[in-house]
Structure formats: structure tokens, C-alpha cells
A and B are shown apart, each in its own frame.
Chain A
Amino acid sequence: MSVRFIHSADWQLGAHFTQFGENAKRLRAARLETLRRTLDLVAEREVDALLVAGDLFEDSQVDDRLVKEVVDLLSGQSTPVFVLPGNHDPASGPGSIWQREFWKALPDHIRTFEEAGCAPLGDGWLLASPLFQKRSTNDPSQKIEALLSEVPSDAVKVGMTHGSLAIPSQHQPDDHPIDPKAATQLGLDYLALGHWHSWREEDGGRMLLPGTPEQDKWDTRDCGWVALVEIDGPGRSPRVTREKVSTLEWHSLEFNCAHPDAEMERLASELARLEPQKDTIILRVELQSELGLEDDNRVRGWLSEAVSGFPVVQETDQSIARLTSGEREALLAEHPMLARAWAALESMEVLAGEGFSAGEGGLSNAEMQSLIKKAGLDSADEAKLGAHLQEARRLFMKTLREGTR
């Protein structure tokens, strides 16, 4: 009377990754690779079935090529797969992905619940309640109650649906809210859920959101898993095991420009550690703190070289271009006119947003306003002006370096 299955959700195949530009394709491809791995795991663990608790696809309008790839993957193995339409890919009639010819041509052991229904799951039963639309205030788990009469009462009963846990302040009312005690209330042995992208257990371990099998954002944590679920008999607590399936690893490194040498050493060590998996690493490096004239060139040059082997790198420059005191003195001695210009630039930055007045650069308020206007900028737009002043400082340093070379 035991039941063993792999529970996954929120694959969101075909998702877009705007911030990664050309590398977005790589991220999309990785998700298919993860599905392949999961199917391998399914075979390896000899489970009764693979459950996809919603959002296999990012959208109902993904292209046929992707659908065909998924169909090929699923139909290439023999373990039953139960697919539940989620809020990203709801069973919304002819427009839904489940009505595609490719999908309809899937073999019988791949079943899609376009209506609420039951299916044998190992020695037990699966009771599935799909979503029909993107948003709803209804609890989709309630439809499972009506299905209970269709299965033997003494069988292991596994529910499957998709939505947010109705926990105050953690969900939206129209985001398919599900009672966090739904499994107990419905008398289910286990309720397989999907929707939230991080691993989360509820109702004494009878309800689980396994999270997305492949990380999709820098701030998504505790993901990259599928759940191996084993239920020994009706009323027995499910045993849930995390199984790592993700293809890519997201790593974010910070570089404190105030201590460039120490940071270069530290970062070099970190990168060396990641080096063996570099093809599957999504790397972000954040420059922080102030960066002087000489260090700017040195640090940027070093960093560029250091990360060159990683295929996906995001450099986030939060550093502030700033002359060191020694550089300022040297500038004043060798290029007094430039030193005055630099001082004026700094005073602009300091005074931006607080109203300009005569600063160290000896510019009057009107002169500053006039210069800003000449450059086509608006002194009232502080954020934009700040970004431009930062860029101006960087350009000053760059052209100064080149000009004195």
C-alpha cells in the first residue's frame, strides 16, 4: 500500500531573463537540462510517478519547438508523469498549451489534468485540481474534496494543486489561496503543491512546495530541488527527501574597492574555487566603495581578466570614482586648472539636490546650473544627475590617465 513519487513544480520552461541579454538562452537551455536530470532521477529512484504540480511552462504561448522538446523528453521514458496546469499554464481551453497537437499526442502514461480528476498513483490514488485561469480568489484544493468519493477510502490519497499558501501578509487574495492545513482537513496523506519558488513545508510535512528546480533570480533562495516522497500507507506521515537537480549555480561576489589588494587576493581565491564549475556558474561581481585614479584602472583591468573565463558574468559597479588625497595633491601641483575642475565636479556632487553654491572649484551657483544645462542635464533630477556626475568623474579619470600617458 506504499506510494513513492517525485514531486516537482514551477519549472516555468521558456521563461525570459531580461537582465542577462544574450545569456538568457543559456539559462533557458539549462532548465531543459534540469528536466532531463530529473527524469534520470525518476528512473534511478524507480518511483511510481513524477508529479509536476503546476507551471511546467512559463506561459501558454511558448513556442512549439520548446513544447516538442519537452514532449520528447517526457515520452522518452516510461514512468507515469502527472502534469497539473498552474497559473502560468492554466487549462484555459483551446488557448492553453495542453491543447497543442504535440502535447495531445503524448503517450497515455503522461497525463495532464485539464479537469479535476483522479488517477492511480502506485498503490494509492492521486486527486488533482488544476487551475483554469491566472488569478482567482478560490482555494483550488477545495475541488479535491469532491474527488474523495471517487477513490477508496482506505487508499493512500495524494492531492495535487497549485497556489499560494493563505498565510496572512505572505500572499495575495487573488493568487489562488490554499489553506495551510488543507491536507489534514481533506484527509489527504500528502498534498503536492506548486507556486512559490523556494522550498516550503506546511501542515506537519503533509503539504510541500518544493520550489523551482532551477534558480531564476538572484534573491531566490532554497531552490534547485525536487522532492522524493515516500508514503508507506494511508494515514502514515510522508517521508520527504530533497534531491538536487539544478544545472546552474548562482554566485554573487562583492569587491570592496577601499582595499583593492586584499580584495583582489580574496576574490582570486573565490574564483579559483568556482573555476571547475565555471560553465554552470552565473556570476555577479559588485564593485563597492571608493576607487581612486590609479586603482580604478588597476582594479578594473584585474577584474576583467579574472572573470574572463566565466561565461555568464554580471558586473555591478556601485563604486565611487574618487581621487585619493595623494592624487589630488599631485593633480594640484601638476595641473592646477584640472585640479580646480575636479574640485568643482566634486562640489557639484556634494551639493546636488541641496542647491548649488560656490564650492571648492570656485564656481558660482549660476555657473554650475549653466554648465549642467549646457550638458543637457536637469539639476532637479537628482538621481539622474548623480549618475551623470559619477560617470563624469570616471571619464575625468580615464581621460586624465590617457592624457598624461
Chain B
Amino acid sequence: MNLCRVELCHVGPFNHPVVLEGLESAGLHVLAAENEAGKSLLIRAVVRGLFDKCTSKNSAIKELQPIGTSLGPRVAVEFEVSGGRYRIEKQFLNDTLSKLSIWAGSDWQLLAEQDEAETQTLQLLHANMPGGGASKDVHWGMLSHLWSRQGTPTRWLDVQGEAGEKLRKQFTTVELDPVLDNMAKALDDIGDQSLTPTGRLKAGGSAETAETQRDAVTEQLDVVESKLENLARDISHHEDLGPKVKRLDEEFKSHQEKHSKLKSQFDLAADGLKLVRQLEGELEAQQKTLNIVFTDLEKLDDANKKLSKADEEHQAITQKLEQKKQEASQLNEALTSAKTAQQQGQETWAGANADHQRTIDLIDLQQKQDDAGRLQKAIKKIESKDRALKGKCAELDALPPIDAKAMGQLDRLQKKIDRLKAQIEVSGLSVILKPKAEGTVETRGGEPDGSFSVKAGEAYALNSPDQLEIILPEWGRINVRSGAGEAQDLAVRMKASHEDMGEQLTSFACTNLAEARKLLGQRNSLEQQVKAEQVALEEQLDEFESLDDLRAEVKRLGQQAKTQVTKLKATAEELAADLDLLHDQKETQRQDLQRAETAKNKADQDVLKAEEKLKVPQAEYSKLEKQQHQVEIDRAQFTADKEGIEKRCSDGLDLAKRNAAGKVAVTEAKLEQEKAKLPDDIESLESKLSRADKAAKDTEAELNREQQELYKLDGSIRGRGGTGLYSEKAALAESHARHAATAERELTQARAARLMFALLDHHKRESIAGITGPLEEELHRGFSTITGRTDRRVFLDENLGIRGIGRDEDQLLAFEQLSQGAKEQLLLCLRGAVAMKLADTEPHVLILDDALVNTDGVRQDRVLQYLETLADRLQVIVLTCHGERYRGVGRKIEFTYPAEG
């Protein structure tokens, strides 16, 4: 079916008749209009017009009514189908009507009206409409599939519906076996009872439930097994422990017996041992006494020896002291002699130094006197120069104080006057006077101002800013006036400048600029002269700042010379002495002084040496004195020691020694006698007894420990016996086997069902592939054009729905997982593919109402290319609010509004 023309009235925004025409049987038509212009409504109205009963008052019909009115929507659709052109016209809600007409070559011929018209229309469009209300999209024939609705471009109508069945009939030649579907469903259900779609165990499924139960029992079994293992371990331990305890008990008894035997032996030996210990104590004390006597004897002998040695040392030191005393006396005399020589040398040096210094002072006095005389002569010359300089300065001071800066200022003022004058000449009054005869002319208020002489035939320019009075002798007075305000201002400013110039010249005692410039020349010349005089004077003054400084220096020198004469008490002869002679005398005296100084230093050295020599015997003497003192102290100590020892043994040390040695010998004999009575192993007996005791105690402790453990184990094992672990395990094992068998059975059944299902599905798909193959091929071509990729295929299911895309079925990306853009492009291609296939027998319209809202720019261009391909054989109508995207392609169509009536 193709659309040819549509007329609407009282539909949505169209309160007045509106027409859409210019639709051709094949080609791309673009209806571009802004939002809410009524594009989508147009198609909805067409569908209502084609498929709905005019008597329907369904909300879908009412939605066509202009908002807020009770007007009845009117729709007329002209279409081509099965080689004929028809027109169905319907009026809804008010004054309802349906009329079907056929184009008879020159005019419309009415075919049927009302119900009959509607029935025939549905037949023409291979559609039907059960009931009496508004139709649903499944009743719209192919249009239901070939109209991509606004807002749902990715929706594909289920071909299980009425329209779908028709569509499927168009494409399918082989019917699927319903038994296969029933079996597949049953198998799928069996598989689903235990497995997820991906083949994993389904949570809460039969197998998983059985496995969960089995695992729960396994856990319980593990616990029981663990308890049994523990019990077996304890029993084994108990079996090991019994003999061990027995062995320990025997060992303990053996240790006890040994200890008892050793204890008897030890008790017998204890008394003898006690006596031995007592004798050993006595012997130790006696030996100590004997040792003291020996020690005293040694000490006494030692004290005698030390005393004798100290006496010898004292005598030797006394001799040395005497010797040192004599040495010191000799050296002391030598020192006194050296000190006398030192005194003499000092006096000789002092005399020579005084002579030498006086000669130096006399030379200095004479030089000062010479300097004072020389400077006095220079003062006279400088005073003459100073007078000349002062004269030039006075001359300069007498001139007006003009300088280069003031002169520059005057020049600039003159230039200003000249410029103002020139401006006045331009903008003010200007009178050219050219007298015929020589004479005097007087002017007032202009330039020149005053009277001046004129010559015959010469031209004189008389200027004034605004008013000029010219008095011509013997002729009269001429008064010329100008209205120019600017010239007047210039005149005022020039007058002020003249006055300024006059004031400045007057301040320099000049009448004009030339005088001022001359005066400046004079001043410059004088200033140079003054400077030259000042330089000459400074050279004369040399290092002095001024003449007064020079005079002060002369005065100072004179006073110093005078003071020196007084101080030196110089004789006239000395004052008159020749300076050179004085210098010679000074040199001679310097040499004498040097010699006296050398002699003096030598005497000093001699004194120091004598003093050093004297120190040696003095130090040795002092040292010997200390040694002698120490020897005396030692002698006193040794004497005291000797007296102390002798005092302790009044009967003599030898007797004491004999007594002590005798006691020791008696006690030693007794001790030997008692020791001989003791057993041979008396030394180790005690440790043996101790070891035996310890062994018995250790064994007893271990025995107690192990016995405790044995009792504990015994109790524990007996306690567990009644719990019936084996019976529990048996019951659990039976339960486990039952659940495991169930789980295995359920899982085997589920997997087998999945295998069988996969097998049936495989064969079913093979059959379907024969049906959907050509359509898939067409779809693939379209989608490749849009995406620019040829490596992916599009797979359809038996309901002509898109399963997904991918290189093959195993790598299929499901339709639901695709992006919105890809989905709408795929659906566009599917509609295109279906329409192209249908076009083999009957032309069809493909309506795309905002079908590509998620498509990017690149693919949009490719879509246009694809649509143009479709449009070779199909009537494609694109409704869009983005007209710019379709510019240059297809045919633009639009609503027209015919005049009413």
C-alpha cells in the first residue's frame, strides 16, 4: 500500500482543512516541520482513517479532536493498493460517515459507504478489525510493521500477533513442529528446575537443594568423623599411656629403694664426719696462730734491716748537703761582680744618649727657624695676587646678574611675541599703506603703534587685532575696525608678552634684547678671569688652605723655635753653629751611643747567667733536705714497728713459734685418725643420696602427671562411649547417600534435558535459518551500509525478531544489550528489509517518524544513503523536526491549506 494524498480537518492543530500531497509511489519524502506542528498526528489520523470505524468514540479517536472543541475529526486518505487507487473518507464523533471511492481515470467513483466502506477498505489492506472500537496496531496490516513510531523507534511488533502472523506468512514456507516446541519447553522446564540459563546450579533448584542438604549432612558427618578421630586418637593414646604409667611406677619404686639404702649409709657416716669437721676447724685455728708467729718474725727482721739502711742513707745525704752549700757560695760572689759591671754600663749609655739627643734638638731648632723665614717671603707674594683677584670680583659684582638661563627665557619670550604678531597679521586687521609721497604716519591700537616715517612707493603693513586708527597728515584720520574676537584675544596675549619682556629687560638694566645679550658677554668674560686668578693663588698657597693659614703657620714656627731655645738653654755659639757640623756631630754621637748600648746589654746577660748558675746547687740542696727529712720519718716508723713486735711476745718469738707448731702437729694426727674411720665414698655419698632423692621425686612427678592424664583420658573415653558416635555417623552416612543420589539424579536429569534441548533447538534453528536467511541477508546489507562494518551479521529468531549481532551465533551480542543508536538503526534496517521483500509483490510505504534520535552524524549520512537505496523501490516518508539533516535528499513535502468551500 502506498499513500497518495491526505486531507485532514478538525484534527489536532488543524482546525481548518489541510492537505498533504505530492506523494509518489516510490521515492524519499521528507516532511520537515517544527515540534508540535502535527507531523505524527497526521500519521495517526491516517491510521484511524484507514482502519477504524467512523462510529468509534474511543480515546484514540478523541485524541484527534482539536483541544477544547467538540468538533468531529475528518480524515480522507487516498492510497494505492493492488494496482488501484482508492479514497477512504471518514468523519468521526459528529455526523459520522465512511465513504470508499475508486479512481476511475477521470473522477472518483463511490464504491461503498459506512460499514461496507470500512470492511472493503480493511480487505484491500489485508487487515481486519475485530469489535467495534478503535483498532490496535496488530490490526493494521503491514503498516504496523513499516511505521516506526515516534518515541518507540526500537519497538518491533511481535509477529505472534495477528499482523505478525500475516507477516510471517509472507516470509515462511515451512511450519515448525509444535510437538518439538512442546518437547523443548518441557525439557527447558526440566533443565530450569536445577540449572541457570548459563548452566550453573540454580539457587533453590532441585539439584542445588539436594546438594545443599547433602553438604549440610557432609558437615555434620565431618564433625562426627572428627570426633571419632579424636576418640580413636585418645584411645590410642590411652593404650600407649597404660604401659608407660606401669613402667614409671616400677621406676619410681626402684628409685625409692635406692634412696632408702643410701640414706642408711649416709646416717652412719654422719657422726664420724662431724668429729672430722670439728678437728678440721681446730687445726685451721692453730695453723692460723702459727702463721701469725712466723709473720711477726719476718716483720722484725725486716724492720731491723730497714732501720740500718735508713741510717746509712741519712749520713750520705748530710755530706751532699755540705758540698752543695759551698758551691752556692762561690756562685753568689760571681753574681755580685756581674751586677757591678751592669751598673757601670748603664751609666755610660745614659751619658751618650743625652749628648746625642741635644744635638738632634739643635738641628731641629735651626730647621724651624729656616722654615719660618721662607714662608714669610711667600706671604708677601700671595698678598699681591689676592688683591688683584678681589678687584676682578668687585668688577663682576657690579654687572647686572644676567646669565644664560635668563637670556634663554628672554629669547623664548621674543619668539612668542613674533608668533603672536604673525597670528594677528593673519586673523586681525591688516592695512597696506603705500603712500605716493614721503611723510609721517601715525597709528594707534596697531602695529606699529605710534608715528613713523614712510617713503613714497613703499608698502607698509599696518596690523591690528581689531581696531586701527591711522592718522594721515594733511589728510585726516582713518579708523578701521574688525569684528574678529580671536585677533583680539591674540592682541591681549601679545600685549601681556610685551609687558613681560619689558619687565625682564628692565631687571637687567637693558632696553632691548641686544643690550641684554652684550651684557651677558661681559659677565662671561669677567667670570673666566676671576677663575684664572683663583687658580694662580691656590698654586701659591701650596698645601695651605688660605693666606691666613699660611700666616698662622709662620707664627707657630716662630713660637716653637723660641720655646726650644729656652728649653735647651742653648748658647749663642750653639745657635750659631753650622747645621752641617751639627749633623756630623750627631752621627759621631749616634755611634758612641750604639757602643754604650752593646756594653750595657752584655753586662745584663752576664748577670742573668750568674743567677741561673746559682739556682742549680740551690735546688739540689733543697731536694737533699727533703730526702733527709723522709729518711728521718722512716727511721722513726721502723723503730716503732720493732718495738711493737717485741712488746707482743714478751717471752720471745722463738718460744711462741715452738708452742704453736706443737699444737698443730697434735691436732693433725687426731684428724688423720678420725678420717681413717670414715667410709671410702663419704665424699660422693651425699651427692648420691641427693641424686637418688631427686630421681625418685622426678619419677613420682611424671608418674602422677601421666596417671592424671590416664585417668582423664579414661573418663573422657568412657564418657564419649555412650554418645553413640558410630550410630550417628551411620545415620548421617545413609542420609548423605540419599541426598547425594538425589543431587546426582537431579543434576544428570537437568544436564541431559539441557543437552536434549540444545539438540532440538539446533535442529529448529536450522529449519528457521532456511526461512529467515534471505531476510537476514537483506538486513545485513542495510546494517553494513549504516555501520560501515561487514564483519558482523544480524541474526533473527523464528518470530522475525532480532536476536542480536555478531560474527557467529556463539559470539552473539543480544539485541537487548545493544546501544539505543544501534537498536534504532537495526529496526530501521529490519523494516527496510521487510518492506523490500514485500515490494516484490506489492509496493509499500515505509514511515519513519523521528526514527533516528540516537544516531550520530557519521551514521546519519550513511542512513541517508541507505534510505535513498530503499526509495528506489519503496515509498519512504520521513517525518522530522531536523530538516537540515535531510537537505539535498529526497523530495520535500509540506502541508497546504486550500481555501474553504
Quick check: is B733 within 8 A (CB to CB) of the other chain? yes
B767 cross-chain contacts in A, Cβ below 8 A:
337
Quick check: is B4 within 8 A (CB to CB) of the other chain? no
C-alpha gap A402/B184 in the complex (Å) = 12
Quick check: is B859 within 8 A (CB to CB) of the other chain? no
Quick check: is A15 within 8 A (CB to CB) of the other chain? yes
With A92-B239, A337-B763, A374-B754 in contact, is A17–B734 under 8 Å at CB?
Answer: yes
Quick check: is A16 within 8 A (CB to CB) of the other chain? yes
Quick check: is A276 within 8 A (CB to CB) of the other chain? no
Across the two chains, which residue of chain B brings its CB closest to A93?
B238
Q: Does the CB pair A388–B751 fall under 8 Å?
A: yes
Quick check: is B104 within 8 A (CB to CB) of the other chain? no
With A18-B734, A64-B724 in contact, is A375–B754 under 8 Å at CB?
Answer: yes
Tell which of B726, B754, B758 touches A59, judged by Cβ atoms closer than 8 Å: B726
C-alpha gap A391/B755 in the complex (Å) = 10
Q: Does the CB pair B748–A391 fall under 8 Å?
A: yes
Contact with A along B750-790 (1 / 0, CB 8 A): 01111110111011100100000000000000000000000
C-alpha gap A361/B177 in the complex (Å) = 17
C-alpha gap A59/B731 in the complex (Å) = 14
Quick check: is B727 within 8 A (CB to CB) of the other chain? yes
Q: Does the CB pair B179–A395 fall under 8 Å?
A: no
Quick check: is A350 within 8 A (CB to CB) of the other chain? no
Quick check: is A344 within 8 A (CB to CB) of the other chain? yes
B733 cross-chain contacts in A, Cβ below 8 A:
16, 18
Q: Which of A38-65 contact B (CB under 8 A)?
A: 58-65
Quick check: is A172 within 8 A (CB to CB) of the other chain? no
A17 cross-chain contacts in B, Cβ below 8 A:
734
Which of A20-28, A70-78, A120-128 is the interface stretch? A20-28
Q: Does the CB pair A403–B723 fall under 8 Å?
A: no
Q: Does the CB pair A20–B734 fall under 8 Å?
A: yes
A101 cross-chain contacts in B, Cβ below 8 A:
722
* Number of B positions contacting A (CB below 8 A): 58
Q: Does the CB pair A61–B756 fall under 8 Å?
A: no
B479 cross-chain contacts in A, Cβ below 8 A:
none
C-alpha gap A403/B751 in the complex (Å) = 20
Tell which of B187, B242, B714, B727 touches A61, judged by Cβ atoms closer than 8 Å: B727
Q: How far is the CB of A213 from chain B (nearest CB, A)?
A: 19
Q: Which of B169-190 contact A (CB under 8 A)?
A: 176-177, 179-180, 182-183, 186-187, 190
With A94-B238, A375-B754, A396-B756 in contact, is A60–B726 under 8 Å at CB?
Answer: yes
With A24-B734, A375-B199, A376-B195 in contact, is A392–B752 under 8 Å at CB?
Answer: yes
Q: Does the CB pair B734–A341 fall under 8 Å?
A: no
B755 cross-chain contacts in A, Cβ below 8 A:
371-372, 374-375, 377, 388-389, 392
Q: How far is the CB of A151 from chain B (nearest CB, A)?
A: 29
B183 cross-chain contacts in A, Cβ below 8 A:
338, 396, 399-400, 403
Across the two chains, which residue of chain A brings its CB closest to B757?
A375
C-alpha gap A60/B730 in the complex (Å) = 13
C-alpha gap A65/B722 in the complex (Å) = 9
Quick check: is B40 within 8 A (CB to CB) of the other chain? no
Tell which of B179, B730, B752, B763 touches A404, judged by Cβ atoms closer than 8 Å: B179
C-alpha gap A217/B726 in the complex (Å) = 19
Q: Does the CB pair B724–A66 fall under 8 Å?
A: yes
Q: Does the CB pair B759–A341 fall under 8 Å?
A: yes
Q: Does the CB pair B738–A63 fall under 8 Å?
A: no
A66 cross-chain contacts in B, Cβ below 8 A:
724, 727
Quick check: is A223 within 8 A (CB to CB) of the other chain? no
C-alpha gap A24/B731 in the complex (Å) = 8
A to B contact number (C-beta, < 8 Å): 182
With A65-B724, A395-B753, A400-B179 in contact, is A388–B748 under 8 Å at CB?
Answer: yes
Q: Which of B522-575 contact A (CB under 8 A)?
A: none
Quick check: is B717 within 8 A (CB to CB) of the other chain? yes
Across the two chains, which residue of chain A brings its CB closest to B734?
A24
With A19-B737, A20-B734, A61-B228 in contact, is A338–B179 under 8 Å at CB?
Answer: yes
A371 cross-chain contacts in B, Cβ below 8 A:
755, 758-759, 762
C-alpha gap A392/B729 in the complex (Å) = 36
Quick check: is A370 within 8 A (CB to CB) of the other chain? yes
Q: Which of A331-386 contact B (CB under 8 A)?
A: 335-338, 340-341, 344-345, 361, 363, 367, 370-372, 374-377
Quick check: is B648 within 8 A (CB to CB) of the other chain? no
C-alpha gap A66/B720 in the complex (Å) = 15
C-alpha gap A399/B725 in the complex (Å) = 46
Q: Which of B689-742 contact A (CB under 8 A)?
A: 713-715, 717-718, 720-731, 733-738, 741
With A66-B724, A94-B713, A370-B810 in contact, is A61–B231 under 8 Å at CB?
Answer: yes
Across the two chains, which residue of chain A brings its CB closest to B739?
A21
A376 cross-chain contacts in B, Cβ below 8 A:
195, 199, 751, 754
B722 cross-chain contacts in A, Cβ below 8 A:
63-64, 100-101
Q: Does the CB pair B738–A22 fall under 8 Å?
A: yes
Across the two chains, which residue of chain B brings its CB closest to A22?
B738
Q: Does the CB pair B242–A93 fall under 8 Å?
A: yes
Quick check: is A387 within 8 A (CB to CB) of the other chain? yes
Quick check: is A99 within 8 A (CB to CB) of the other chain? yes
C-alpha gap A100/B718 in the complex (Å) = 7
Q: Does the CB pair A340–B235 fall under 8 Å?
A: no
B764 cross-chain contacts in A, Cβ below 8 A:
337
B749 cross-chain contacts in A, Cβ below 8 A:
391, 395
A97 cross-chain contacts in B, Cβ below 8 A:
721
Q: Which of A270-325 contact B (CB under 8 A)?
A: none
Q: How far is the CB of B693 from chain A (nearest CB, A)?
A: 34
A235 cross-chain contacts in B, Cβ below 8 A:
none
Q: Does the CB pair B186–A403 fall under 8 Å?
A: yes
Quick check: is B592 within 8 A (CB to CB) of the other chain? no
Quick check: is A14 within 8 A (CB to CB) of the other chain? yes
Quick check: is A95 within 8 A (CB to CB) of the other chain? yes
C-alpha gap A287/B120 in the complex (Å) = 67
Contact with B along A77-105 (1 / 0, CB 8 A): 00000000000000011111101110000
A389 cross-chain contacts in B, Cβ below 8 A:
752, 755
Contact with A along B212-232 (1 / 0, CB 8 A): 000000000000000010010
Q: Does the CB pair B754–A61 fall under 8 Å?
A: no
Quick check: is B251 within 8 A (CB to CB) of the other chain? no
Across the two chains, which residue of chain B brings its CB closest to A403?
B182
B741 cross-chain contacts in A, Cβ below 8 A:
21
C-alpha gap A365/B291 in the complex (Å) = 119
The listed residue with most B CB atoms (<10 A of its CB), out of A20, A61, A338, is A61
With A63-B724, A341-B763, A374-B754 in contact, is A14–B730 under 8 Å at CB?
Answer: yes
B730 cross-chain contacts in A, Cβ below 8 A:
14-16, 24, 58
A399 cross-chain contacts in B, Cβ below 8 A:
182-183, 186-187, 756
C-alpha gap A106/B728 in the complex (Å) = 25
C-alpha gap A341/B765 in the complex (Å) = 12
Tell which of A63, A100, A345, A390 touches B727, judged by Cβ atoms closer than 8 Å: A63
Q: Does the CB pair B759–A344 fall under 8 Å?
A: yes
Residues of A within 8 A of B (CB): 14-22, 24, 58-66, 92-97, 99-101, 335-338, 340-341, 344-345, 361, 363, 367, 370-372, 374-377, 387-392, 394-396, 399-400, 402-404
Besides A19-B737, A338-B760, 18 new A-B residue pairs in contact (Cβ under 8 A), listed by A number? A16-B731, A24-B731, A61-B723, A61-B724, A63-B723, A95-B238, A100-B718, A337-B177, A337-B180, A337-B763, A341-B763, A345-B759, A371-B758, A375-B754, A392-B755, A395-B756, A396-B183, A400-B179
Residues of B within 8 A of A (CB): 176-177, 179-180, 182-183, 186-187, 190, 195, 199, 228, 231, 234-235, 238-239, 242, 713-715, 717-718, 720-731, 733-738, 741, 748-749, 751-756, 758-760, 762-764, 767, 810
Q: Could you give 24 example pairs across A and B, Cβ below 8 Å?
A: A14-B726, A16-B729, A21-B741, A24-B730, A61-B228, A61-B725, A61-B726, A63-B728, A93-B235, A93-B242, A95-B718, A95-B721, A99-B721, A100-B718, A337-B176, A338-B179, A341-B180, A345-B756, A375-B199, A375-B754, A388-B755, A392-B753, A392-B759, A403-B182
Give the 4 A-B residue pairs with the shortest CB-CB distance, closest first.
Answer: A63-B724, A16-B730, A391-B752, A61-B726
